[in-house]
Amino acid sequence: MSRGTKLFLDLLMGAVIPILILNNLTGPLGAPTAYVLSALVPVGWVFVDLLFITKRFNVITSYIGLAAIVRGALAFWFVDGLLFAIKDTAGGIIATLVFGGSVLIGRPIMRAFLVQALNPDTPEREAALGRLLAERPIHRALVMGTLIVLLFNIATSIANFVLNLQIVVAPFGTEAFNQQVAQVNAITRIALSIPEFIAFGVAFWIVFRALYGNLPAEEGKQPMESDFWELLRMREAQSS
């Protein structure tokens, strides 16, 4: 599956369909049932993705799976007002704990995202990449990238909490509540995703800049014009 298709499906299952359910099925199904169904669709999609599409078990998929389990359980916590705003921000709270905790223990989670992006397909490449990532400048870049994503996540989590507190004011179990949840989801699930994409983009730029800064260069080429694995092979040959 291409990245474009995957991104489209993530947006469709994570935002568009839940909003359509809240807006169009509250009457036929009843407000509580429509709300639970809309909350479980993104959770179900995450597990379909992990089990049948991604088919990987690693730090990132464990984190995604944990967040999905928490969201699924919270779907049955029927609250409104302040408690709902806290509940809807649970994903951001988990992300803050994971990203912040990874920095505190000296294992920045951006390393896991980087390894998945580079996808070393042999034990030799995996070992060589591990040696490269152990270099101090690269570790610093991984920490910096993780902190950037963390700060953006804290900012979007606060925005998510405030928006829910201001918009979702109707009692749970009413049609007005579901419509207000759909309204805030249209903002938070789509608009607030943009800063997160930007944060990851900046974080990866910082990390790749550090990576290529610690690799040999091919004559007549800019570092990022060369094949990463070829440069890593050259580095290994020079150090042996």
pLDDT in tens, 176-220: 999 999 999 999 988 888 999 999 999 999 999 999 999 998 887
% helix / strand / coil in the chain, to the nearest 5? 80, 0, 20
- pLDDT for res 141: 98
- 1 pLDDT more than 80: no
pLDDT-derived band at 153, boundaries 50, 70, 90: very high
> What does pLDDT average to over the chain?
93
Banded pLDDT at 62 (limits 50, 70, 90): confident
Helix axes 17-24 and 31-48, enclosed angle (nearest 10): 170
What is the greatest pairwise CA distance in the chain? Answer: 70
pTM more than 0.85: yes
What percentage of residues in the chain have a pLDDT greater than 90?
A: 79
Mean pLDDT over 121-148 rounds to 96
CA distance 175 to 34: 10
Who wins on pLDDT, 87 or 192?
Answer: 87
pLDDT exceeds 90 at position 73: yes
Q: Is residue 59 a contact partner of residue 109, using CB atoms and an 8 Å limit? A: yes
pLDDT at 190: 84
pLDDT of residue 19 exceeding 90, the answer is: yes
Q: What digits encode the pLDDT tens for the residues 42-56?
A: 999 999 988 888 777
- CA–CA separation, 43 and 115 (whole Å): 25
Task: Give the residue extent of every domain in the chain.
Answer: 3-239
Per-residue exposure over 99-129, b if at least 16 CB sit within 10 Å of its own CB, e if not: bbebbeeeebbbbbbbbeebebeeeebeebb
